[in-house]
Structure 1
Amino acid sequence: MRSTVELPDFAQAKIRPPQLRTHLVARPGLEQALLAALPRHRLTLLVAPAGYGKTAALARMLCHWPAEAALAWITADEDDHLQRLLACLTAALEPLDLPWRVAPEALGTLAQADGGLRGVANELINALASAEVAQGLIVIDDAHSISDPRVFALLQAVLDHLPEHWSVAIASRVDPPLSLARWRVSGELAEFRRTELRFNAQETAALSVSMGLGDMDAQLAELLTLTEGWAVGLRLGLSAQANARGGGSSARDVRACSGTAHRHLFDYLASEVLDDMPDDLCHFLLRCSVLPELSAERCAHVSQLPQAAYWLEEVERRGLFVTVLDSEDLTLRLHDLFRDFLESRLQRDHADQVPALLCRAAEHEPDLTRAVGYLLRAGDWDQATRRLVESGPELIARGGAPALDQMLDQFPGGELAARPDLHLLRGMAAFPRFDFDMMSTEMLQGAEGLAQAGRASEVPLAQAFATLGMMSSGQVEAAAVMLARLVLQPLPPDQQALVRYACAWCAFAQGRSDDVAPHLVAMVEGLERCADVQVGNGCFFLSMLAGFPGARPALIRFADCALRLSGDQPSQLRAGAWHLRTWLALEVGDLAAALQHLTRADEDVHWLGRPRSLMTESWMSHTLLDALRGDAAACHAAAHENARDMTEHSLAANRLTHEHAVLFAHVRGCWILGDMVALRSAAALLARTGNVYEWAYAESERQMGRAMVALADGDLALAHKLLQPLAAGAEGSVYFVTTQLRLMLADVAWRLGRHDEAAAILRPWCAQALGGGEVGGALMVGSEALQRLAAVDWGTHLGPGGTALLQQLAQRLSGAAQPLAPDGLPLESVGGAVAYPGAGHWRRCADDPTSVLTEREREVLARIAAGDSNKLIARRFDLSPHTVKRHVANILGKLDVTTRGQAAACWRGLPTDQGKGPLQR
């Protein structure tokens, strides 16, 4: 179930603008009107039925478009959904080296988040605004093919805030669902409809001359009247006139058909053109009509005709209904009407050949959506499954789960049910949206199918994935039974890693704290042996297990291994490793290092489009760490976003299982901040949770919340009663709750005058902490309580170093009352300006703003200042273009600038407009 080939999201021909064909008739009036309208209007709309020359008009306009102006061309088709259109758009904009702050390929993932379309629109607007071009144009041709309403919702959001030096042109057969009336009233919409697009008498005469028909004024006038200036009808009608001279159809025949719909007239006239062709050319066109774009190599393979290049040139020479694409090799795109006509004739006359043609079309098709579509139309379910199995996991990793779901939905129900691999893919696609019910159901069905198919060696992996879904939907006991069987089997390293990962979480869910670490050790051993980033991506979520007994060494090994496997490529695995390192640093009391690691995680999470699979760790971490650094607004914002995601976007099973953990994190954050008003509110919400699906530690969290409210009310006796049984157990919840409980209980006991009891509670913890044990939970006791404990003269009651440890931690937490820079110094004590990219904290020296950059980032910035493109920079430093984009994003964020030019000015020591920030944040 691993991808062997990384496929593009779409056929590259979709972003190639058409070339101007020499036989196209000049239409200076239309071209000049278009050229004048585009820069002056937010949106230019070309709307007319098929065959009115919309694409040709735009192609001729491009001949006059300034060479220094930017152009992004997209030809839409019926397979296009939001993610696919975003991939097309960002690829079409690639030559501009836009300063993306989110990975362009992650915009589809960002679109799935809460308010995701607005977030995607902001990223696009900011990138376009930062493009260092005087004028830019985005063209969307054949927009009528788009059926995903989210595409138009995004276009609406982008157009509403489009930078002044950019404009959009849309060619469509129908009005797109946009705010056309509003823009029409404000003068921001230019419209070219049937009246503006139809041919006039002079253009019709020029078309006749270009087709070698000479002087035929009377017939032209009649034809122009019959076709109402319909470009494709004119061309076909003139072809029919030429045939009539040779004994073919006559103008009377054309007139007889003219009363019918345009489509019927086209089919009638096209049949005349096709019947007049040489048999070999007709044979070639019919068989290649299954392809949306025609190149010599693809056509030769599909048609099995070695002279494909010759026939393509003949098609172009004859001026048939094709568009020539801007590419090194001759590539043609069939007009929709012509292609539909050819496919209909192919199905009528050669239906038996269609499946083989479609299968051959899929063989060399790099566009996965198209390839699978060909195979499904051919009824080749096995090959369609093979293509999805090869590329599906990689597609999911790149945020393409919705696209995968769309392809799976095209399988007939019986075929889908009979193929275990497709169940596994659907289960994997369910994880990014946290649909744990579907994940477990599909994985179990897949496991059963694998067993029936004699593929027993693949069953454990499917069952391990299933148990993860089962646990997160409240089926912990059933998952435990399945894992108990799996762990006894001899497994290859990749399966061992995932099974033991699931076992660690199962032990946690059941309250078996001491069993967590052994499973983590076995998990890391399996991952280190297989060294597969895809396996690591299945085990990335581990930060909440920091602090469990004996887990630290295995977690350190995992973080190191994960970062080695990820390299400099942001990924789910790498972000998970930075989250884990955040809590490993806090485990030893190093808040400054924890904030640094969290900043690195934030960068990756933002770059990856804020996927839900990473945001839970991010929100939980920020709720607590922002509280520790004294930022109440950030703490509450993270907690509220986490709760809203749980309430509005999680399915019922996940919400029932995990809602308590989200609310409890906020309760702890409020306690750390000393915000007792917010604490009472959050604790009241936590108290209302409770159901049979919760994990083992949920009730202890509610009890701790009640104890905190009792302390806020000054009821020390009740707080002591509630805390005492909780503090006696081993670590059972997340992020060092047990240490926090013990120190809170010690503080309450001291305040009640039970000094010996307080010392007895602290003594074993101090000995463990001084021996290298966890101390991070002590910081979460809160500054006031920690200061009280540190101020006590404990004498010899805490053993050597115990009092000093408390004093050191109290001082460290007191310093964190102000926001911290990465070196642990309060920001107010640091010279120069401070920038905050995302939730991170970067310190910049006023004398050298580039001092915050890493060595590699400084090298990249030097090349930006020298005028190198991203591709040249990638070649110079042997980096991937993706990595260069990431470095550019880091550079702009750390320097607090929005364009490459401003960053270059920083490098050269020139004044910049720093601090203005992006247009939309």
Structure 2
Amino acid sequence: MSFARTKIQPPQPRGRVLLARPRVDAPLRAALLAQRLVLVSAPAGWGKSALLARQLQDWPAGVALAWVSADAGDDLPRLLECLVAALEPYDLPWRSAPEALVAGAGEAAGRARFTGELINALEAAEVAHGVIVIDDLHRIDEPDVHRFLDALVERLGPRWTLALVTRHDPPLALARWRAAGELTELRAEGLRWTRDELAGWLAAAGAPAQRLDALLARTEGWAAGVQLALRVEGGGSLGSERAFTDFLASEVIDTLEPGLREFLLQVSVLPELTAARAAAVTGRADAARWLERIEQMGLFVSALDAAEPTLKLHDLFRAALEQRLLQEQPQQLPALLRRAAAGEGDPLRRIALLLRAGDTAGAAQVLLEATPAWITAGALPTVRTTLAQFDAATREHLPAWHLARCLLAWAQGDFPTMDESARTAQSLGRALADAEVEAMGLGYRAIALNFLSRRGLRELGVENLRARSPAPHVVTGVALAWADIDEGRFDEACRRYAGTLTHLERSREPHLWYQGNLGTVGVHIPGMGPLIERWVQGALQVGGDQPLTLRAMALVTRGWHRLLVGGDIDGARAALATTHEELRWLAEPTGVNALATVLELQIEAAAGDAEATRRAARQLLDGPSTGQGHRARWIVANFIAGCAAAVGDAALLAEQAAVLQATPPEGALPGLHGIVLDIAQGHLAWLRGDAEAAAAAWQRALADPVNLVRTRLDAPTRLFLAAARLRTGRPAEAAEPLAGLQTRLQQGAAGALLFARPVAGLLRAADWHGLLEPADRAALEQGLARLGPVGEAPRPASAATPAGLSSRELEVLERLAAGDSNKLIARAFDLSPHTVKRHVANVLDKLAVSSRGQAAAWYRANV
């Protein structure tokens, strides 16, 4: 959790202070239990939070409450993360990992998906009624937050209410809900204390009744003013925020005993007060005693329903304290803010404290440390907003700021900005004699150059990188391995990536394992297979059961490895099925989803299923996974063309060959434009019966053996060329491209033979004795024996289980039927909460039900 837990803890009701106000409380209670939207909108000091806290004093049994307190600078991912955590006690039956849904909510489509899945989960929740409270909404000015809230209100079912507490009206469709009779509003006028209510308050406070009229005139029924006037004597109006703050400073703060006054001034820098944090900021071992006294005195604080005693100063009281601190002890403020930041676990709050303290370097370092996790969680808007909080002149000299910006640019695919930021960080690191910073800048420059042009990569000097931490070695190692592959230095690429994995295995950080992924680009490179599997194993261990795309990336990479290196179609199918389960749980992240679709395309082509290959190709072309720009479209066309050739689909092949032809050379992967086009044109000629033209095109492709390997089509192209020469009556020449076949297969090209299925019969019928070396002939015969004709490929049968549930899912279902919560199920089976939520989602999916109660009923009826 990247936010302070206190953000989802409601204020603790205090019966002694929170006196009943039937005139306000009764209609509010009725609205919270029946209305779609409740808006409590009034300036500071009108008792909004106290009003809601009073409702908690006798909150109805069975009514769920999810409370989120907004902070300045909160954006949509942060608000949604808080909301998901606030709803956690009610075991909502999420069908996708809520963390993954939050990660995708930065885009409009992802926001719509989160809203839809949240609504479905709320509707299926086992609660009689539920209320979601967003407190201090005025602190958020992010348009996406308001769009989400509008969409949420639009689709809320009758069992849920959204309550918004704010100092001013949010830009929502309030007029619409007002006209529909589905909005209850409480404003300053409705919150104003009446004469009768003040009389009751005076009686409860033990104050003389004759003060009533004077108090009413002095405060105009303003709650904060009433509280202050009851504490102190004095004249003048307290009916405004400015008058209240001035009077509070002179008549309360300045009248406190010196020790308490000093303590309050110092802790005013804290968002919330706990004994440990107050002691750390003030240096007082007796901080707990002072906090008890503050609460006993009712000094404009509220208690939070937290695991440890926690107080929160009223905003107006805190502002008055900070104002007095600045007036009297301005030199102490930076140190107090730094000490407050040191104990703050919420990175956004910590950054804000350090920036106020003038410690921009410290704030930038916290930003850099938090950025990988934010990016992993999809909170790119959070990174952008936080980067913008740094003064333009100051941040230019902060290497940590530039490295964080570099990571954001990488995540956004903005490689010119990535290169610029990395270059600046490298230069600053060198000037500051900080070898680690310089190394990271160098490493990120290497990655950026790989995506930009790959020119000048080796001139950077990354070969002689010296750094203690593994991160620079990992990112530069991947960049250089890519470059080695592009240059045909396959042995060097394997050696380098092996060293990269050694550095990577020193880290348990998921984001670094993302960065250390050589990707499916290297799966088919000779000798790379075992290293790719080594990365897969490590990534799965590091990812564990966390809802991260790292696990899905590892699973799809394993599928590619099993297909292209091992030639194991069934193993690849099993990996793809597991990947699809993972992707469904992860809300189908676009990038990995595209790789899974390409894997499915290759599996169907390797199996010889022409119809399934066409379906996968159309899915890839029609979905959002093809990316933007020439290169993305060229890569997709290359994959589809190769698979279309493998199943003899002339129409699909011609369509994609046209795309390859129209793509400019700079839009293709370096060095592959001409050779890929030659291979495709050879297949087109073969399918129209022109074996001579096909042989000529494939022979041109074999003239560039290094780039032929890079295409992943080396082995099948050689087999197709051999078939073309057989068909034209040249058996001796047909053997030439097959020389060394055994070595190629041993180095990891066994799976590539599957893509030569259309010519398997022709090659099997040929007499290769005396034409091929015995080892190559045996390898060819063994490979061809696995290939049948192109057609419908058989699918492995799945094991029969009740509703297709796994044994673990049956166990979880049994516990659901017993009424166990997710926490109890996790404890019973020694599982993590993430794993339990996922098992529940699988159970609901397989049973085709929407709620835990429906699943329990199915179990009782069928098991």
Q: Place the TM-score, normalised by the shorter chain, in its bin.
A: 0.7 to 0.9
Equivalent residue, structure 1, for 2:636: 662
- Superposed CA deviations along residues 454-474 of structure 1, whole A, max 9, x for unmatched, are 333664454233211211122
Match of 2:7 in 1: 14
Please, which runs of 5 or more residues in structure 2 have no aligned partner? Answer: none
C-alpha displacement of 1:712: 6.6
Is residue 509–residue 697 contact of structure 1 (8 Å, CA) maintained in 2? no
How far did 1:196 drift?
A: 3.0
Q: Is residue 498–residue 531 contact of structure 2 (8 Å, CA) maintained in 1?
A: yes
Task: For residue 284 of structure 1, report the CA deviation from its aligned partner.
Answer: 2.8
| Residues 773 and 657 (structure 1), Cα distance of their counterparts in 2 relative to 1, 3 Å cut | closer
User: Does the CA contact (< 8 Å) of 2:672 and 2:711 recur in 1?
Assistant: no
**1:422 is the counterpart of 2:401:** yes
| Residue 6 (structure 2) pairs with residue 32 (structure 1) | no
**Counterpart amino acid of residue 527 in structure 2:** G
Residue pair 2:721, 2:737 contacting (<8 A) in 1 also: no
Q: CA deviation at 1:370?
A: 0.9
Change (3 A) 1:624 1:19: same
> In structure 2, what is the equivalent of residue 848 of structure 1?
802
Match of 1:652 in 2: none
Q: Equivalent residues in 2 for 1:336-735 (5 A)?
A: 336-388=315-367, 390-456=369-435, 459-474=438-453, 476-482=454-460, 485-486=463-464, 496-513=473-490, 515-527=492-504, 535-569=512-546, 571-587=548-564, 588-608=566-586, 610=588, 614-615=592-593, 617-625=595-603, 630=612, 632-642=614-624, 646-647=627-628, 655=629, 658-669=632-643, 679-692=653-666, 694-707=669-682, 718-728=693-703, 729-730=705-706, 732=708
Q: CA deviation at 1:146?
A: 0.9
- 2:42 aligned with 1:48, yes or no? yes
Q: Using the alignment, how far apart are the partners of 1:140 and 1:174 within structure 2?
A: 13
Q: What's the C-alpha RMSD, in Å, of the aligned pairs? A: 3.6
Q: Tell whether 2:97 aligns with 1:121.
A: no
| Aligned AA (2:84) | T
Amino acid at match of 1:736: R
Structure 1 residues 54-63 or 532-541, which shifts more? 532-541
The verdict on how the C-alpha distance between 1:336 and 1:909 changes in structure 2, with shifts beyond 3 A counting, is same
> 3-state DSSP class of the match of 1:40?
coil
Matched with 2:101 is: 107
* 1:508 CA displacement: 2.5
Paired residues of 1:9 and 1:368 also in contact (CA < 8 A): yes
Distance 1:881 1:656 in 2: 43
8 A Cα contact 1:291 1:361, kept in partner: yes
Distance 1:92 1:568, change over 3 A: closer
Seen in structure 2, the aligned counterparts of structure 1 residues 763 and 677 have a Cα distance that, compared at 3 Å, is: closer
Q: Post-superposition shift, 1:297?
A: 2.7
Q: Distance in 1 between matches of 2:460 and 2:816?
A: 55
How far does the alpha carbon of each residue in 1:850-900 deviate from its partner, in whole angstroms, 9 at most, with x for none? 5x42x5555544444444333334344444333433444444445554433
Check whether the contact 1:55–1:171 (CA below 8 A) recurs between aligned residues: yes
1:231 partnered with 2:232: no
Could you tell me how far apart the structure 1 residues matched to 2:168 and 2:246 are? 24
Bigger CA drift: 363-372 or 797-806?
Answer: 797-806
Aligned residue identity for 2:357: A
Distance (whole Å) between structure 2 residues aligned to residue 228 and residue 722 of structure 1: 91
Native 8 Å contact 2:195 2:212 kept in 1: no
* Residues 636-681 of structure 1: per-residue CA shift (max 9 Å, x gap): 233443555x22xxxxxxx465552234234445555766555544
Distance in 2 (CA, whole Å) between partners of 1:553 and 1:422 is 38
Matched AA of 2:10: P
State how far apart, in whole Å, the 2-side matches of 1:387 and 1:513 are: 39
Question: Are the structure 2 counterparts of residues 885 and 626 from structure 1 closer, same or farther at C-alpha, using a change threshold of 3 Å?
Answer: farther
Aligned 8 A contact 1:137 1:168 in 2: yes
- Tell me if the contact between 1:661 and 1:698 (Cα under 8 Å) persists in the aligned partners: no
Q: 1:899 aligns with which of 836, 844, 851?
A: 851
Counterpart of 2:833 in structure 1 is: 881
Cross-structure match for 1:774: 749
Query: Match of 2:128, SS?
Result: coil
Matched, 1:267 2:259: no
CA displacement, residues 737-774 of structure 1 (integer Å, 9 cap, x when unaligned) = 22343344455556x64463784367448655776852
The CA distance in 1 between the partners of 2:404 and 2:60, in whole Å, is 47
Contact 2:355 2:363 in 1 (8 A): yes
Deviation of 1:379 after TM superposition, in Å, equals 1.1
Whichever residue aligns with residue 172 of structure 1, its letter is: T
In 2: Cα distance, 1:910 partner to 1:33 partner: 46
CA contact (8 A) 1:486 1:499 kept: no
CA distance in 1, matches of 2:539, 2:69: 40
Give SS of 1:190's match. strand
User: What TM-score do you get using the length of structure 2 for normalisation?
Assistant: 0.88
TM-score (norm 1): 0.83
Whole-angstrom CA distance in 1 between matches of 2:332 and 2:391: 22
Structure 2 residue identity aligned to 1:452: A
> Structure 2: which amino acid aligns with 1:638?
L
SS in 2 for 1:73: strand
Higher mean C-alpha displacement, 440-449 vs 623-632: 623-632
Aligned-residue offset at 1:361: 1.1
Deviation per residue, 1:350-404 (Å, 9 max, x gap): 2222112111211211111111211111012343345445554444444445434
1:170 Cα offset (Å): 0.9
Contact preservation (8 Å) 2:523, 2:561? yes
Alpha-carbon spacing, 1:363–1:497, altered in 2? closer, same or farther (3 Å) = closer
1:868 aligns with 2:820: yes
1:208-227 maps to which residues of 2 (within 5 A)?
A: 208-216=202-210, 219=213, 224=216
The question of whether the paired residues in 1 share the 8 Å contact of 2:691 and 2:728 is answered with no
